[in-house]
Amino acid sequence: MTSPLQQEACAFTGGSPPGFSVSDFGAGTNDRRDPTAESTVESSAAAALWDLAQGIEQPCEIDLTAEQLCRKLRESSNWSTPQHTTLELQFHTLTGTVEYMKEQETILKASQEQIDVLRTENMALHEKVGRFERDCTDAASHNSILGEHIRTLREERKWFQSSLDRIETSNEGLNAENQRLQ
């Protein structure tokens, strides 16, 4: 299985794996055959590139920065080889990727801030909706109570009207009796 860097290197070299050689990067003191040898920038770079060229999935730890690696590669005698060009392109690609990721992180932070503001506004809106629903429930309850009062008043009005009708009938009877008595 090839690593992503090795796949990218293959893409830059026309599809074939790069022919890295440890000797391309200067004389290293640790070419992975002598574990007691002192680690240097050259040997770290050589070991890492050896791992890349061999397709090793768990490469050795690299104890140098990308800038140190690039500087060492520039200092080597034969900078015009495809391997060097590939590494330079990879370095620029990685540098661009880091910058892009930083920009994306800034954009994500700004988006998260917007989400937080929208979340706060949404919660305030939910509170308003809750108050409105309670007000509507209260208004419906008051409306129901008023409807019952209106029905009660109509029934009372009918009762008073029927009482008034009886009183008028009784009054007419009394008036007729009064006239007869006179």
Query: For residue range 50-104, what is the model confidence (pLDDT) as tens digits?
Result: 666 665 555 555 556 666 766 666 666 555 666 667 777 888 888 888 889 999 9
Q: Look up the pTM and report it.
A: 0.36
Angle, CA 125 vertex, CA 121 and CA 126 arms, to 5°: 120
Is the pLDDT at 1 greater than 50? The verdict is no
Collapsed DSSP state (helix, strand, coil) of residue 57: coil
Residue 47: name the closest of 72, 67, 17 by CA.
72
